[in-house]
Amino acid sequence: MNLSRRHFLVLLPAAAVAWESVLAGTPEASPNYTMSDHWWGMLIDIPKCIGCGNCVRACQTENDVPDGFFRTWVERYHRTDWHLENPEVISPDGGKEGFPAVKEGGEGEYFFVPKMCNHCADSPCTQVCPVGATFISPDGVVLIDPKYCLGCAYCVQACPYGCRYVHPEKKVADKCTLCYHRITKGLTTACCEACPTGARQLADLKNPRDPIHEFLKTHSVQVLKPQMSTGAKAFYNGLDGSVR
Amino acid sequence: MSVFKDAGHLFRFAGLFVIAFLIFLVVRHYVVPKSFGQYGHYRGAAIGEIASHPIKFAGHQACEDCHTDIVDVKTKGKHAHVNCEACHGALANHAADPTSVTPVKPDTAVLCARCHTASAAKPKNFPQVDPVDHANGVPCETCHNPHSPAIGADVAAGGAK
Amino acid sequence: MNGVEGYMYPNEITLYWSVLIVLYPFITGLVAGAFILASLERVFRVEAVKPTYRLALLTALAFLLVAPLPLVLHLGHPFRSPEMYFTPHDTSAMAMFGYVYLWYLMAVLVLEIWLDYRREIVLLSQQSKGLLRWIYKVMTLGSNNISARSLHIDERVGWVVTLIGIPSAFLLHGYVGFIFGSIKANPWWSSPLMPVVFIFSAMVSGIAGVMLLYMVLTKMRGQKIDMLCVDTIAMYMFYIFVIDFSLEMLDLIHRIYEADESFNSLNFMVHTKLYFSQIVVQICLGTVLPLLLLFLTQVVKLPEIARKRIYATSGCLAMVGVFAMRWNVVIGGQLFSKSFLGYTTYKMSLVTREGLLAAIALTILPLVFLWVLVKLLPPWPEKSAHQGAAAD
């Protein structure tokens, strides 16, 4: 590997700026980031997901997710002729190590559904927090304040999607943060970074140049449990009607 | 005013409430975090604290800024859209201080199999093989350059450095 | 595999609300129910139940003092609970707990008890010795005025307090029902009927509890049980129980009839995982049987000894049934997956902060508090003549 002096000089200040933001911890997440310029969501492209589990592992690494609990997980559905009535779903350890291989010649097809916090615009979880420890940020990310949370678990009960849990050691509620610490610095989420097929894509609905706008106009897109009217912002392309 | 004489005890009871309420207001003023209510019914400072969490994955841009030779090979091949850390793992510490942290080369026997082991569950058009039938113990990088895996796409087989 | 059948979302496998969260609404239900019994005499002038008036208030207080403990033991960060006072979130039903609790404790229950007992408190502060004297002195708030006019004012104000206390009691317990009933994510809980069912079953349990305590304590004091009193209490308990049963049946029939997306999953759960606690304990033993027994006493003239036995049995069964109802709501609501594809198991621990022993201790603690309160503020006339520490 050849690192030219020129490249090195370019890198150094960029790394320094990023590192400063990491150390700063100031209310404005990092220089050049204005919360009101963004409204975050995620696009999940079901036909592209191969169930490799990279996203689950990357999330655990990036966010120190405790074993047995999941900020994101992958489900595998078996498409049969009556799977709408009775879906067959598995998620072995959240899909963290992928899924057991299925032999050729069996009945029906399969598909994978990555799940995560939907960062609902009308989230029922933030509604029920008794003290204001969980909230939606001005840029559309539902976050938990671990210094303020009582650990009452009311928000866990209120989430229709099962994306919250109580951290076994910290004893506060925890869940996907849409890698807030990354997206506010121009990076993408850990799960999107690790996905080899582009099945997961971070989306900024306030950015006119974000591909999500064109995608939503040209594809059949759904959210999970639309009847709950949560204003979910995780958009699924090609979501089967049997997905729970 | 004799009614007040006989109701004096009630005023004392009410007085307790007033005192307790005043104490409550004073304590509240000191205890509630200063940034509470800044953006909504929550501690505004929490946003900055969450945004300051350490980063473990550097992001492919950081890798590509240095490893331009790999980029040249990768962008032409099938793994063009597979980000570096999807295979190499989280390497922000390497990106922050390249000389002090040397990444470990991934074990292809485990790594490649994760995505490419054949399963009827995977999309039909996705390249997949039975590792035993296909390679029978021969390491994947013997024939496939991980950065541009199609056979013949990159003649320098034996993997990148 | 770790108690899961079918598919559960991975984070749903653990239950987050334990037996302590079952205990909390049971306790506040007893508080509300006991208070309603007290208000029967004070506001609705049902003279027959007067012998239980003071006991009902003390019982309510004893249980109310214990009520926050299961919540505090359950919290991940109990020392942050004052946040509910400093920054309550106005969209959260749970946030009102701090204020509703404090209101009910101080502005209703403590105030009413103080007003009713003030004469005795002043007299005892003059007659007692040592530490007890100081306790009573503090309780007088420095006022020794027990003139006829001041006592008359107390009585009038007490009446108003009790009147306000009735909706306050409904709020104290009804908000818990709303905590569950307003969660659209959980179809076992989500129902506008939930607060109403909670309130009526609370009244059954509270009235049964005070009735049982009255019968037991009277026997322990070697006195005769006032049959007009318990007959009247049992009658009210019966009517309220009928309303409670009707409401629960309405919920059940409505669910079965509408059969929405959750129905198959919930139906299966009731027939398997919740069969014992719901069908056997809550419905058959805890509701239908005591209703039948009480119905018998309402339509057939039975001898005193038979009535006493039936009241005692029905009272115990009713309280067990109401506890089972709380169990089935709280635990049942977490046993099934929100994917409607699976079930998990509640693994109740024994010695941890949220375990069985803690629950048992918290059930016994109110009785200990009641014992202290009965000693301090005797509910019965002949005991006030002694220094409060005479018998047992």
What single letter denotes the amino acid at residue C193?
Answer: L
> What average pLDDT does the segment B58-71 reach?
94
pLDDT at B3: 61
Which residues have a Cβ under 8 Å from the Cβ of A231 and sit 6 or more positions away?
A120, A121, A122, A123
Subunit contact B6:C145, Cβ cutoff 8 A: yes
Tell me the whole-structure pTM to 2 decimals. Answer: 0.92
Which sequence spans correspond to the domains of chain B? 2-51, 67-83+103-142
**CA nearest B25 in C: which residue?**
C86
Q: What is the DSSP letter of B145?
A: B
Whether A81 has a pLDDT exceeding 90, the answer reads no
**Contact between residue C215 and residue C227 where contact means Cβ atoms under 8 Å apart:** no
pLDDT digits (tens, 9 = 90+) for B107-139: 988 899 999 999 999 999 999 999 999 988 899
Average pLDDT over residues C77-100: 96
- Averaged confidence pLDDT in chain C: 94
Q: Scan residues 2-61 of B and list those with Cβ closer than 8 Å to A.
A: 33, 35-36, 38-57, 59-61
- Determine the average pLDDT of the residues in C340-355: 94
Q: How far is A226 from chain B (nearest CA, A)?
A: 26
Q: How confident is the model at residue C65 (pLDDT cuts 50, 70, 90)?
A: very high
Q: Which chain A residue lies closest to C190 (C-alpha atoms)? A: A158
Confidence of residue A242 (pLDDT cuts 50, 70, 90): very high
Residue A83 has what pLDDT?
Answer: 84
Q: Which of C103, C141, C159 best tests the B interface by mutation, with the highest count of B CBs <10 A?
A: C141
The parent domain of residue A135 ranges over 34-237
Q: Is C85 a residue whose pLDDT tops 60?
A: yes
Average pLDDT over residues A21-40: 67
Percent of chain A with pLDDT over 70: 87
- Residues above pLDDT 90, as percent of chain B: 79
CB contact at 8 A, A49 and A111: yes
CB contacts < 8 Å between B and C, how many? 40
Instruction: Give chain A positions within 8 Å (CB) of C81.
Output: 150
> What per-residue confidence (pLDDT) applies to A4?
53
Question: Among all chains, which residue has been given the structure tokens 């350890």?
Answer: A93
CB proximity B32 to C under 8 Å: yes
Domains belonging to chain C, first-starting first, are 5-384 (1.20.1630.10)
Q: How far is CA A178 from the centre of its chain?
A: 5
Partners of A228 on chain C (C-beta within 8 Å) are 184-185
Inform me whether the pLDDT recorded for A19 exceeds 50. Answer: no
Answer whether residue A171 shows pLDDT above 90. Answer: yes
pLDDT value of residue A105: 87
Q: With 70 as the cut, is the pLDDT of residue C56 above it?
A: yes
Tokens of B45: 């400072």
State what percent of residues in chain C have pLDDT above 70: 97
What's the mean pLDDT in A211-216? Answer: 96
Between A and C, how many residue pairs show a Cβ–Cβ distance under 8 A? Answer: 119
- CATH number where A219 lies: 3.30.70.20
The band of C390, judged by pLDDT with boundaries at 50, 70 and 90, is very low
User: In a 3-state reduction of DSSP, which class is residue A30?
Assistant: coil
Which of A3, A22, A132 minimises the CB distance to B41?
Answer: A132
Q: Is C159 in contact with C88 (CB distance < 8 Å)?
A: no
Question: Percent of chain C, pLDDT > 90?
Answer: 96
Q: Which residues of C touch B16 (CB under 8 A)?
A: 141
Does C142 touch chain B if contact means CB atoms closer than 8 Å? Answer: yes
Q: In B, which residues are within 8 Å of C90 by CB distance?
A: 41
Alpha-carbon distance of C218 to C223, in angstroms, equals 5
Those chains having 3 or more beta-carbon pairs within 8 angstroms of chain C are: A, B
Q: Which helix (H) or strand (E) holds C35?
A: helix C19-42
- The residue ranking higher by pLDDT, C326 or B103, is C326
Residue A59 above 50 pLDDT?
A: yes
Alpha-carbon gap, residue B123 to B141, rounded angstroms: 24
- Look at residue B2 in the predicted model and tell me its pLDDT: 56
The first and second tokens of residue A31, run together, are 């220089």
B24 touches chain C (CB under 8 A): yes
Bridge-based pairing of strands A234-237 and A200-204 is unpaired
Report which of residues A109 and A12 the model is more confident about.
Answer: A109
CA distance C337 to C9: 7
Asked if residue A22 has pLDDT above 50, the reply is no
pLDDT at site A8: 52
Nearest-by-Cβ selection for B50 from A22, A51, A143: A143
Between helix C111-127 and helix C148-181 the angle, nearest 10°, is 140
Matching residue, tokens 């510490």: B93
Distance, CA of C90 to CA of B157 (rounded, Å): 64
Q: What's the CA gap between B94 and B98, in Å, rounded?
A: 5
**Shortest Cα distance, chain A CAs vs residue C151, angstroms:** 41
Whether residue B160 has pLDDT greater than 50: no
Whether residues C153 and B41 touch (CB distance < 8 A) is answered with: no
Closest CA–CA distance from residue B15 to any residue of chain C (Å): 10
Going across the sheet that includes A88-90, the strands are A88-90, A72-79, A109-116
* Out of B35, B52, B60, closest to residue A25 by CB: B52
Q: Report strand pairing: A40-45 vs A234-237.
A: parallel
What residues in B contact C150, CB-CB < 8 Å?
6-7, 9
Q: With contact defined as beta carbons under 8 Å apart, do A236 and A223 qualify?
A: yes
| pLDDT tens profile A110-141 | 999 999 999 999 999 999 999 999 999 999 99
Summarize the confidence of residues A2-13 as an average pLDDT. 52
- Is a pLDDT exceeding 70 seen at residue A1? no
Of all residues in chain C, the one with the smallest CA distance to A168 is C76
- Residue of chain B minimizing CA distance to C103: B17
Domain count, chain A: 1
Q: What band does B154 get if pLDDT is binned at 50, 70 and 90?
A: low
- Cα distance between residue A156 and residue C185, in whole Å: 10
- Over 60: is that where the pLDDT of C62 sits? yes
pLDDT at A29 over 60: no
Question: Looking at residues A217-241, what average pLDDT do you find?
Answer: 97
Residue of chain B minimizing CA distance to C122: B9
Residue B4, pLDDT score:
74
Residue A179 CA to residue B33 CA, distance in Å, equals 25
Average pLDDT, stretch A46-53? 97
Rounded CA gap, C100 and C221, in Å? Answer: 36
Complex ipTM? 0.93
Is the pLDDT at C384 greater than 90? The verdict is no
Q: CB distance B50–A147 less than 8 Å?
A: no
**Six token digits for residue C272:** 């398997």
Chain C nearest-CA distance from A75, in A, is 9
pLDDT tops 70 at residue A28: no
pLDDT (tens digit, 9 = 90+) per residue, C252-309? Answer: 999 999 999 999 999 999 999 999 999 999 999 999 999 999 999 999 999 999 999 9
The sign of the CA dihedral A73, A78, A82, A86 is: negative
